[in-house]
Amino acid sequence: MHTLRTELSDGIQTVTLDRGKANPINHQMILEMRQLIAETNHNEAVLGCLLTGKPGYFSAGLDVVELYDYDPAQMKAFWQDLASLLADLSASPKPWVAAISGHSPAGGCVIALCCDQRVMAAGNYRIGLNEVPVGIVVPSPIFDLYASVLGNRQAYQFLMEGKLLLPQDALACGLVDAVVDPEQVLETSRQRLLHYLSLNQMVWRQTKQLLKAPLIAQLRPDFDTAFGPTLDQWWREESRSQIAAMIQKLKQR
């Protein structure tokens, strides 16, 4: 795999996002994650997974620089596979804990939301969904995922504002489950995962399946209904101009 690194030790598989400095999410990363999840689900040697990034960045979100040059067919395929990834990860029968190693806006936050717990590094980092201010229409399944953690009212307010939160604020509202020193993120996440694994796994997995069933159904909607507005807006001149301006700022950093 070109965008992920994996390490298996004592039944725990650590999956590290490994693409550039900030782990921007492109189509290749999505396809590799889907493949990895499918393999993990059927690998009896893997009991649970830690999902992490690089120091300072879990993931900066969707790779808008690459996505900007996709043609309509590529863009639709990207969103179709992203939608499938969110359902695949959320529905995995095995426990996943996100060890959020730094910034996790937009798509980075969405990936972390699919995990069973989230442990975030303390520091001047941001997490949340900021798609609206940058000109991207948020598909309803992503709101449903956000609301499954924050509740409808708070998810709606945060999403419509494009609110990005510091780690302690994310902890206070329940977006993350723990905030620890950066060097403790992986170990704290591992301890959380080990607690899950200390429980009866048949009971744990069946309970997860039952409790997440309504969300999984929301994550597998009619694609054109849920994601069509996102794709339509992406190709509008005002959105293209807004995203192009953002890309220029990114390239100047």
Q: How confident is the model at residue 249 (pLDDT cuts 50, 70, 90)?
A: confident
pLDDT digits (tens, 9 = 90+) for 115-174: 999 999 999 999 999 999 988 999 999 999 999 999 999 999 999 999 999 999 999 999
Predicted pLDDT at 1: 85
Predicted pLDDT at 177: 99
Predicted pLDDT at 134: 86
pTM beyond 0.85: the answer is yes
Q: Is 20 left (phi over 0), alpha (psi -120 to 50) or beta?
A: left
A 10 A CB-CB count for 187 gives: 12
The 3-state secondary structure of 142-211 reads HHHHHHHHHCHHHHHHHHHHCCEECHHHHHHHCCCCEEECHHHHHHHHHHHHHHHHCCCHHHHHHHHHHH
The arithmetic mean of pLDDT across residues 188-198, rounded, is: 99
Q: How confident is the model at residue 5 (pLDDT cuts 50, 70, 90)?
A: very high
- In this structure, which amino acid lies at residue 196? Y
Centroid of chain to Cα 80: 15
pLDDT at residue 252 is higher than 80 = no
The arithmetic mean of pLDDT across residues 16-36, rounded, is: 98
- Mean pLDDT (the chain, rounded): 97
pLDDT digits (tens, 9 = 90+) for 75-108: 999 999 999 999 999 999 999 999 999 999 999 9
Predicted pLDDT at 193: 99
Lowest mean pLDDT among 41-50, 84-93, 117-126, 244-253: 244-253
pLDDT at residue 21 is higher than 90 = yes
Do 8 and 40 touch, CB atoms closer than 8 A?
no
The domain ranges of the chain are 4-197
The arithmetic mean of pLDDT across residues 213-238, rounded, is: 96
CATH number among 3.40.50.720, 3.90.226.10, 3.40.50.620, 1.25.40.340, domain 4-197: 3.90.226.10
Predicted pLDDT at 189: 99
Give φ, ψ of 204 to 5 degrees. -60, -45
